[in-house]
Every structure is written in structure tokens, then in C-alpha cells.
Amino acid sequence: MTYLLMIRERIKSFYSRYEGFCNPALKFILAFIAFRMINKNINFAAVLTSLPITLILSLLCSFFPMNFILVMSVLVILLHLYALSLETVLITGVFFLVLFLMYFRFSPKDTILLIMTPLCFVLKIPYVIPICAGLVAAPTSVISTGCGVVTYHLLHYIAGNSSALMTQEDDPAFALEKLRVLIDALMSNREMQVEVAAFAITILVVYIIRRLPVDHCWTIAMITGMLIDIVVILVGDLRFETRISIAGLIIGSIMALVVAIILKFFIFNVDYSRTERVQFEDDEYYYYVKAVPKNTVALTEKKVKKIKGSEKVPAAAAEETDMDPDNPLKDAPEYRLRRSGSTAGNKNRTRRIRIPEGIKDNKP
């Protein structure tokens, strides 16, 4: 675990040091994957499927906020559908307009969820979204994930029925018929409705549980969310005969749990064995505080090895300290005096450092 914590701290340190380069690179990768998935599934406009166009659009998205990726993705989708038929563009354009109104009104910061939901459906791991959204997002992320689910099913239907939706004649009655077919297909899609309901319930359950002041709340939330998601989808399958793959549901839920565990390791890695409870008061209130320390590694691997192999600190080190002798933490068991490395032109001096868990304390 110490080795994994060191890797995590190095990743976080690398990201914080090169954040100005990492953010554009990550946005470029996300935009590139999104455009490639769109071009692969609804490739009606051949000019947009070329690799240079995709690279240029992805590079452009890397210099703008995350919402720009969403706008460009919608634009690419509409251009593809324009090559299919005008009626399809109208229906999809109205849907995206409603989506933007709901998204920017309730959850304008959930761009990553709105983009990742259709991508996870294409990658056959859609059940990752509700569990992870419940862990790191707010309840309003229900709207973002719901819009993502509807977007995927709409585009999936259009891609699977492109021959019937393609413009073949200029008869207005034929155009109205295609509009009716698209609307009916969207409103009568029971599988989509079951998934929207299951994702919304899972997000709310995971969010409520992970906010509870109980030990291992994130782990309980992940497992409960996975089970709730499976149960709701199975009930919906029995009620509406959606023909959802049971094997795919179980495997996808297990993969979602694995991804959630990795996410928890980077965001909420705490040590419940060292939980402290504090009680104090002021003139108006009593306060009951529960403090759970994080699992962190404050020292480099080289320093850890040095401390592990060291004996007691020489008495001379205590004499050279420039700390306040009245410091209330000077006798705390998790602190000790160590000689620190000198800088150019300065003498060695002692400083107080925090010893990682698992290293035996040797008081001087």
C-alpha cells in the first residue's frame, strides 16, 4: 500500500507541476476519442471522417473550455445527419437545444459526464457512469447522465435505420412521416427509459450513502449502487421485456465497481483505524467532530529507507534545533527531530517531519 501511495503522490505531483500542459493534452485526447466514435458510428459525411480533420478539431478543443468539446461534438453530429436527411437534422437539433437548456440550467459543470456517457455505451461499459457520478458529482448529475443516455439511443437508432431515414423524395407527407417515426422511436424506447431511471436512482443512492458519517461509506455506496443498478434494470427488463443482456449487465457492473475502487483510491483514501472524535463547545453550541486522517506519504522513498535503517537521533541534533521549546507538538509520538539537508551557504539544521504509518517511532 505504501508503494501505491507513493505512485499516487508522484502522479499528483507531476500533474500539479505540469498542469498547464496536462489539461490541454487530456482535453485533446477526450475530444479525439469523441470525434472518432462519432465518425465511426454515424459516418454519413465522408469529409468529416478524415484523420486530419479530426486532429484539427481535437487540437482546437484543447485550447478552449470543456463545454467547447460538447459544442463541437454536437456540430459534427448535425453535419453528419445533414448528409442523411433534413428531417433528421431538425429532430436532433431540437433535442440538442432542449438538452443544452436543461444542462446549462441545472448542471453546467458536468460536461465530462455528458460526453463520457455515450462513449461508455459505445465501449460497452455504461454502468461505470452512475456509480462514479454518485461518488464525485452532485445529484444534479442525474440530468447530465440522462441526456447522455438519450443521446446515445437516438444516434444508435438513426445509425441502424439510416436507409429508411435517407432523403428519397420531396413529398412533404413523406418528410412528416419520417419525423413521426423518429419521435415514436424515441418515445417508445423502453430500454432507454429503464436505463435513465436506473442511472438516476443509482446516482442518488450512491450520493446519499457516501455522504453519511459512517466508516467505509464510499465502499458501502459503491457496492450498494452496483446492486441497485442491477436490480432496477432487471425489474425493468421483466416489466417491459427490454431484452437486456444479463451477462453483459453483470460483467459491466463488476467493471464499474473496479473503476470506482480506482477512483476512490485517488480521491478518498482514508485510514479509519486512526479516526478521532473531538467534542468542544462555545457560548451557543456543542460541537461533535469526527476526524478521519487521509492515507498519504509525506516522504520520498529515499527518506523512508533512511528512517527505517536509522537508530536514535544523536543528541547533538536536538541541541541544534531552532524550534520553539514550548511547541506543544514537540513530544508527540508521530513527530521526531531529524537533521535536514543543508542548502548552499547554510548550516544543517533540524526540522520536524511527519513519519508515515508503519514506521516504528524512535524518540531521541
| 62, 166: one domain | no
pLDDT at position 173 is 62
pLDDT at position 206 is 95
287 within domain boundaries: no
| 262, 225: one domain | yes
282 within domain boundaries: no
238 within domain boundaries: yes
C-alpha grid cell for residue 50? 478524415
pLDDT at position 26 is 93
| 326, 361: one domain | yes
| 310, 261: one domain | no
| 120, 189: one domain | yes
Could you tell me the end-to-end alpha-carbon distance of the chain, in angstroms, rounded to an integer?
28
278 within domain boundaries: no
Kind and range of the H or E element at 5? helix 2-17
Question: Do 264 and 132 meet the contact criterion of CB atoms below 8 Å apart?
Answer: no
| 119, 178: one domain | yes
Q: How many domains does the chain fold into?
A: 3
Domain boundary among 213, 248, 269: 269
pTM over 0.85: no
pLDDT at position 223 is 94
| 125, 241: one domain | yes
pLDDT at position 350 is 35
Residue found by looking up cell 513527530 in the block: 335
Domain boundary among 250, 269, 288: 269
173 within domain boundaries: yes
| 123, 28: one domain | no
Residue pLDDT tens, the chain, 364 long: 778 888 888 888 888 898 889 999 999 999 999 999 998 888 888 888 889 999 999 999 999 988 899 889 999 999 988 888 787 888 888 888 888 787 777 777 788 888 899 999 988 889 999 999 999 988 988 988 988 998 898 888 888 877 777 755 555 666 677 777 777 777 888 889 999 999 999 999 999 999 988 888 999 999 999 999 999 999 998 888 888 888 889 999 999 999 999 998 888 888 888 888 888 888 888 888 888 888 776 544 444 444 444 444 444 343 334 444 444 444 444 433 333 333 333 333 333 344 444 444 444 3
- In whole angstroms, give the CA distance from residue 197 to residue 339: 60
Concatenate the DSSP letters of all residues of 92-139 into one string: HHHHHHHHHHHHHHH-TT-HHHHHHHHHHHHTT-TTHHHHHHHHHS-T
Domain boundary among 252, 269, 286: 269
> Quick one: how far is CA 288 from the chain centroid?
32
322 within domain boundaries: yes
| 110, 61: one domain | no
| 258, 111: one domain | yes
292 within domain boundaries: no
202 within domain boundaries: yes
The residue segments making up the domain with residue 115 are: 86-93+104-269
| 73, 110: one domain | no
Kind and range of the H or E element at 351? strand 350-354
| 148, 245: one domain | yes
Question: Do 364 and 339 meet the contact criterion of CB atoms below 8 Å apart?
Answer: no
- In whole angstroms, give the CA distance from residue 243 to residue 199: 18
